[in-house]
Structure 1
Amino acid sequence: MNAELPLRKLVLRLVLVVAAMFAFGFALVPIYDVMCQAFGINGKTAGAYEGTQTVDEARQVRVQFLATNAAGMVWTFEPLADQIEVHPGASAEIRFIAYNPSDKPMAAQAIPSVSPSKAAAYFHKTECFCFTQQVLQPGERIEMPVRFIVDRDLPDDVHHLTLAYTLFDITSRQPALAHNGG
C-alpha cells in the first residue's frame, strides 16, 4: 500500500504536465501574435478589401515582392516583377508564376506577410491566390494575380513595403490528391 502513493503522485504529475502542454499549445497563437507585433516581424496583411479610396497622386510607395518555398515544396514560385511603384489609394496588380515540375498532382497554400509590420494593416488585397488552395497537375504552370491597394492612411514615414509569400505543400491534406499521387 505504501508503494501505491509514489505511483499516484507520479501519475498525477504526468497528467498535470500533459494538461499544461495542451494549454500551452492553445496559447502559442496569441503569444506569436504579441511577439510579432513587439519585434515588428511577420506582418500579417489586412486581408480581403472591398472598399474604395481616392488616389494620393502626390505620393508613391515602392512595393517589393518575394516568393519562397517551404521545406519540401518542389514548385517553381516567383513574382513576374521584383517591385512596383504605387500611389496610395490606387488599385495595383502583380502576378506570380507557379510551376509543378513533379510527376504528380500537388496542392499548395501561400501564406502572405507584409513588412514593415506597422504597414500590414494598410495593405489591402482585393484578389489573391492566397485566399484559396492551388492545385496543379504534373508539368502545369499558372499565373496567379494579386490585386491590392496600399491605404492612403499609410504612415508618412513608410516609403517601402515588402509583400512576401511562403508556399507550402499541402498535398497530403487533400485525400483525393494524396491517393492519386501515391
Structure 2
Amino acid sequence: MSDTPKDARLQRDNKRMLGKLCVIATVMFGFGYALVPMYESICEALGINILSRSELLVSGRSGPGTFNTQVDTSRTITVEFDANARGPWDFKPAQSSVQVHPGAVTTVMYEFRNVQNRTMSAQAIPSYAPKQAMAHFNKLECFCFNEYTLAPGESKKWPVVFVIDPKLSRDVNTITLSYTFFEVGAKTPPAPVTGAATQVLPQGAGS
C-alpha cells in the first residue's frame, strides 16, 4: 500500500525538522567550543589574573613551577614600580625598580597595610608606560583585579611574577608598572599620571 500524499508530506516535514535540529545542535556545539578561547582573550585583554597562551609560549612552561625560558641576555630592561593609594592606607612595592633580561621570570613583592580602625575591602588596577609595552608585559601571577578584605592594622604582601616578551621593541629600555589601589565601592580613580601610561579597567568600572 503506497503512502498517501498526506503521509509523504508529513515525512518531508519531519526530515526538514530533523535537519534544522541538527544545524542548531552543531551551531550550539561550536559556540560552546569557542567560549574558552573567547574568555581567555577577554581576560588577557583586561589583564585579569590568568596564565594566557601568549605567556605560556613566552615562558615555555611545561608543568607546575617549571619554566624553560629563552632569555635574551643581549639586552637589559629597567622595570620601574609605582603604587598609588586612593585612601588612608599604606601601599608600596618592596623595591622601586629591577633590571631584567627579556624572557627572564621575575618576582617583585607589593606591600599593603590597612592603617584604619575599620575593616575595609579594596583592589588594584594596573597601568603601563609606554603604551606598547602592555602587550609584551606578561604577568604569570598578579594580585590585580582581586578583591581583598583586611582587618584594622592588618598587613599583606602580594607577588607580581612577570616575564617580558623578547619581541618587545628594542627602542623600549624602560617600562613602568603602576598600580592604583582603591577601596571597593568607591568611585574608580582616574589613571595615575605616568606619561603615556595606559590603564586597564575591570568590566563595568566607572559606570
Superposition TM-score tier, normalisation by shorter sequence? 0.5 to 0.7
How many residue pairs are counted as aligned between the two chains?
Answer: 128
Query: Are 2:157 and 1:143 aligned?
Result: yes
Q: Whose RCO is larger (CA < 8 A, sep 6+)?
A: 1
Query: Are 2:147 and 1:130 aligned?
Result: no
Q: For 1:85 and 1:62, how far apart are their aligned partners in 2?
A: 5
% same residue: 38
Partner of 1:68: 84
Partner of 1:108: 122
Partner of 2:93: 79
> C-alpha displacement at 1:47, in angstroms?
6.2
Query: Are 2:107 and 1:93 aligned?
Result: yes
Partner of 2:184: 170
Q: Find the structure with the greater CA-based Rg.
A: 2
Q: For 1:87 and 1:121, how far apart are their aligned partners in 2?
A: 17
> C-alpha displacement at 1:104, in angstroms?
1.2
Secondary structure at the counterpart of residue 130 of structure 1: coil
Q: For 2:178 and 2:170, how far apart are their aligned partners in 1?
A: 22
Q: Structure 1: which amino acid aligns with 2:153? A: G
The gaps in structure 1 that reach 5 residues or longer are 1-43, 174-182
Mean Cα deviation higher: 124-133 or 111-120: 124-133
With the length of structure 2 as denominator, give the TM-score of the two structures. 0.58
| Partners of 2:88 and 2:115 within 8 A in 1 | yes
Q: Structure 2: which amino acid aligns with 1:92? A: T
Q: For 2:164 and 2:186, how far apart are their aligned partners in 1?
A: 35
Q: For 1:63 and 1:45, how far apart are their aligned partners in 2?
A: 18
Judged with a 3 Å threshold, the aligned counterparts in structure 2 of structure 1 residues 136 and 47 are, in CA distance, closer, same or farther, namely closer
> C-alpha displacement at 1:120, in angstroms?
0.7
> C-alpha displacement at 1:74, in angstroms?
1.4
Q: For 2:105 and 2:137, how far apart are their aligned partners in 1?
A: 11
Judged with a 3 Å threshold, the aligned counterparts in structure 2 of structure 1 residues 172 and 161 are, in CA distance, closer, same or farther, namely closer
| Partners of 1:45 and 1:123 within 8 A in 2 | no
